[in-house]
Amino acid sequence: MRIAIDGPAASGKSTVARLVAEKLDFVYIDTGAMYRALALKAKKAGISFSNADEMAELMSHTYFSLSDSGIILDGSPLGDEIRTREVSLLSSDIAKYSYVRDFLTEQQRTLSKQGNVVMEGRDIGTVVIPEAELKIFLTASAGERARRRVKQLKSSGVEATYDEILAEIERRDLNDSTRSVAPLKAASDAIILDTTGMSIEEVVSRIVSLAEKRQ
Ligand code: C5P
């Protein structure tokens, strides 16, 4: 069984998807981490995302795989360096290039064949695995998402103001939903869950029970 979970930045997808995978004993695949990791790799190599030739060269020696602890890039697990605010914005910039999306979509399809999976991102139900047995689209108001993200950053020792984070989330929402290739949108057969005011546990148990009904 494949469960696709899509939604905007900071909608709680990662936390929810990881817990759903744990409860069902499915493999969890975070596709945002792949965009983040590729953006960081290109930046470190001094490559401009808009340079299709240099990006193609870089991607030709970029290998993603999975381990119990998550995504592996070129043989090494991804670290916290992909979670910075700078990399959040870079990943949303790199994600608009069709050559990047084609490359990562292909890699994600390969990873999705690992058995029972929960895959989360922006275009999983629409592009990566449109034949997924269960598709969820998680949303929450931008204000609620910004509040959650500030809290999460604080707990990991990063100070940020609500206004700054709200602006960054709105910028990523705009990038993600207006790009011409695979924009963020719910699949026509996705179940839309507005999580504003819902606890993580409530969201997880809703999805787990939907999955159990479809298994
Ligand atoms: O989910 P996360 O915030 O880690 O994703 C980082 C960025 O990667 C997003 O802002 C989005 O632009 C991009 N992304 C995407 N398609 C996916 C997953 C992530 O475009 N399937």
Dist CA 82 CA 91 (whole Å): 9
pLDDT band for position 76 (cuts 50, 70, 90): very high
Q: What percent of the chain has pLDDT over 70?
A: 100
pLDDT tens-digit profile of 147-183?
999 998 899 888 899 999 999 999 999 988 998 988 8
ipTM: 0.98
- The answer to whether the CB of 125 is under 6 A from ligand 1 is no
Q: How far apart are CA 71 and CA 119, in angstroms?
A: 12
- For residue 68, the model assigns a pLDDT of 86
Model's pTM, two decimal places? 0.94
Which of the four pLDDT bands, split at 50, 70 and 90, describes residue 10? confident
Looking at residue 190, the DSSP 8-state letter turns out to be: P
Ligand 1 near 12 CB (within 6 A):
no
pLDDT digits (tens, 9 = 90+) for 132-150: 999 999 999 999 999 999 9
- The first and second tokens of residue 28, run together, are 């969890």
Measured from the CA of 36, which atom of ligand 1 is nearest?
A: 6
Residue 8 Cβ inside 6 Å of ligand 1? The answer reads no
Q: Relative to the CA of 172, which ligand 1 atom is closest?
A: 10
Q: Which amino acid is at 44?
A: K
Indicate which atom in ligand 1 lies nearest the CA of residue 35. Answer: 8
Task: Judge whether residue 69 has pLDDT over 90.
Answer: no
Residue 6: is its pLDDT beyond 90? yes
Best CA proximity match to 29, nearest among 119, 109, 116: 119
Q: What is the pLDDT of residue 182?
A: 85
Q: Determine the residue of 18, 35, 127 to mutate for testing ligand 1's pocket, defined as the one with the most ligand atoms within 8 A of the Cβ atom.
A: 35
Q: How far apart are CA 152 and CA 59, in angstroms?
A: 32
Q: In this predicted model, what pLDDT tens digit does every residue of 94-123 receive, in sequence order?
A: 999 999 999 999 999 999 998 999 999 999
In eight-state DSSP terms, residue 26 is P
Binding-site residues for ATP: 7-15
How far is Cα 46 from Cα 149, in angstroms, rounded to an integer? 29
d(CA 186, CA 204): 19
